[in-house]
Structure 1
Amino acid sequence: MMSVLMNTIVFEDCRNQWSVSRPLLGLILLNEKYFSELRASLINSQPLPKQEVLAQCFRNLMEGVEQNLSVKNRDRFTQNLSIFRRDVAEALRSDGHAELCTLDMMS
């Protein structure tokens, strides 16, 4: 389920990020190991110059997010997720060589 939500955020036209961010945060907090694997998979699938940019995007995603599901924490994660989505999209198309179909986190 986490893979599906992350793919929706990164690769699809997700107009209502709020409704995706709420369950995604719970899944990330519930299974941090799997989230780390997804993050590493996406980062490692990119050319070397983009890897650090994407790593920073993922660090920023969890910046200020605590290990709880309080309303304040969920709101913070939702804000971070909007920025994350924009920054990742920019990073992936920055040189025009990225093929989105090869970046699917579910593979």
Structure 2
Amino acid sequence: MSRPLLGLILLNEKYFGELRSNLISNQGLEQQQTLNACFEKLMEGVEQNLLIKNRDRFTQNMSVFKRDVTEILRISTAANTPVGTVYMMS
């Protein structure tokens, strides 16, 4: 899934930037900084091409991004769960 995603990001960087800004701005202040850092790491070392080495790098970054964002959202959701409410993750 990440390989076609890289092509789309490179094809329409403006939209990716807008999507990124929108997702970050919809989070709390503390999560905004962390999420911004995740997006920075996502594109770290990724060049403006679709060479195999570059796609592999993006795929590795995407795995870390997914793990980190899932953790951020899990913590954010858990912090907003009222005391006494059963919280179940699927």
Normalised by the size of structure 2, how large is the TM-score?
A: 0.84
CA distance in 1, matches of 2:73, 2:35: 9
**Is 1:64 aligned with 2:45?**
yes
Larger RCO (CA within 8 A; separation ≥ 6):
1
Gaps of 5+ in 1: 1-19, 99-107
Instruction: Give 1:49's aligned residue.
Output: 30
> Percent identity, aligned pairs only?
66
User: Cα distance, 1:70 vs. partner?
Assistant: 0.2
SS in 1 for 2:45: coil
- Give CA-to-partner distance per residue, 1:14-67, whole Å, 9 cap, x none: xxxxxx111100000000000001101110000111000000000000000000
Superposition map of 1:25-104 within 5 A: 25-95=6-76, 96=78, 97=80
Between structure 1 and structure 2, the one with the greater Rg is 2
CA–CA distance in structure 2, aligned partners of residues 94 and 57 of structure 1: 15
Structure 2: runs of 5 or more not aligned: 82-90
**TM-score, normalization by structure 1:** 0.71
3-state SS of paired residue (2:62): helix
How big is the alpha-carbon RMSD for the aligned residues of Structure 1 and Structure 2?
Answer: 1.2
List, as ranges, runs of 4+ consecutive aligned residues in structure 1 with deviation greater than 6 Å.
none
The Cα of 1:90 is off from its aligned counterpart by 0.5
